[in-house]
Amino acid sequence: MSKPDPALLDPRRYPFVHQVTTRFADMDPNQHLNNVAIAALFEDGRVRFGHAAGNRKAMIASVAISYLDQAFYPETVTSYVGLEAIGRTSWTTVQLLEQQGKVFAFCRSTAVRIIDGRPAPVEDALRKGFTAMLLRDA
């Protein structure tokens, strides 16, 4: 994955923000947050974001992470989440992780609405919640 568009690295564009406390178990021998922990931070952000938008029935179809810089234990991480696109049965989420004012990772994922184990249309109420979570203009 190439480096993300710089416009996507602006935290002010993201409508959903929350703080995450790092754990000792997230650290590698160099006191960096390890890649698996960073992937889990993105997952946590997607789930919290989905709940805030009113969605609890989705399956992740793809995830791509760009590791842009180092991050460290025990510093707090700020997670930014927004929607890049909303389709008929799926949506694309983009996320940033920031520590001490520095973006250190970017993630783009596609999720599919699932009902009874099958793709289902994003219904109007959920689409309305999602529309409020679209990325802000740069």
CATH code, domain carrying 101: 3.10.129.10
Total domains present in the chain: 1
pLDDT in tens, 15-57: 999 999 999 999 999 889 999 999 999 999 999 998 888 777 8
- Type of residue found at 3: K
Classify residue 1: in a domain, yes or no: no
Classify residue 9: in a domain, yes or no: no
Who has greater pLDDT, 107 or 52? 107
* Residue 33 pLDDT: 96
Count of CB atoms within 10 A of residue 81's CB? 25
Residue 9 has pLDDT above 90, yes or no: yes
* Residue 1 pLDDT: 59
Residue 106 has pLDDT above 70, yes or no: yes
DSSP letter at 29 equals T
Classify residue 64: in a domain, yes or no: yes
Classify residue 137: in a domain, yes or no: no
pTM equals 0.93
Residue 69 has pLDDT above 80, yes or no: yes
pLDDT in tens, 70-101: 999 999 999 999 999 999 999 999 999 999 99
**Could you tell me if 110 and 83 are in contact, meaning their C-beta atoms sit under 8 angstroms apart?**
no
* Residue 109 pLDDT: 97
Classify residue 6: in a domain, yes or no: no
Write out the residue range of the structural domain in which residue 119 sits.
14-131
Alpha helices in the chain (DSSP H): 35-53, 124-131
In the chain, what percentage of residues exceed pLDDT 70? 99
Report which of 52, 68, 90 is spatially closest to residue 5, judged by C-alpha positions.
68
